[in-house]
Amino acid sequence: MKYDQLKLENQLCFPVYAASRLITREYQPYLDELEITYPQYLVLMILWEKDEMPVNDIAKKLILNTNTITPLLKRMETQGLVNRERSKEDERKVIVKLTEIGNELKEKAVLIPERLASQLLEGPMGVEELIRLKEDLGKIINHLLRK
């Protein structure tokens, strides 16, 4: 059939798109407990690893534009999770850092990856396959970023 490549099932794009939403959905109940959203969780993970980062560094790590990250960070500031203040050295930069509350969330969040991992492992894929999947996606991400 001439248009076979236009079938949804034959494309890589759709599974990536669908899996992304389904995985986010899977996080939802755990994130609800902490009263944060999935992108907020990603920001927190970055800051837990290295506190005090300029907006742009966070955007780069998450591969997001500043017009996405700025309102996100503002909402997080309103919720009392982070502080935002201009850098003294370079006044173009806004340094984002965790509040006490943001820092304390780490203790509760530490269980989330374990729970997710065990949920995924209930499925047909083993640890090695999931790691390979992660690495394969990493290859695609690097390839697309390189251009």
Partner DNA sequence: TGTGATTTAGTCTCCTGCGATATAATTATG
Partner DNA sequence: CATAATTATATCGCAGGAGACTAAATCACA
Residues that bind DNA (CB under 7 A): 17, 21, 24-25, 28, 37-40, 54-57, 59, 63-68, 70-75, 84, 89-95
Q: Which amino acid is at 33?
A: E
Q: CA nearest 64: which of 43, 81, 78, 80?
A: 43
Task: Give the CA diameter of the chain.
Answer: 63
Least distance to a second copy from the beta carbon of 58, Å?
11
Choose the contact partner of 11 out of a second copy, DNA, none; CB within 5 to 8 A by kind.
a second copy
Between residues 1 and 63, which has the closer beta carbon with respect to DNA? 63
Choose the contact partner of 91 out of DNA, a second copy, none; CB within 5 to 8 A by kind.
DNA
Least distance to DNA from the beta carbon of 126, Å?
26
Residue 118's Cα: distance from chain center in Å? 19
Identify how many contiguous H helices and E strands the chain contains and give both numbers: 7, 3
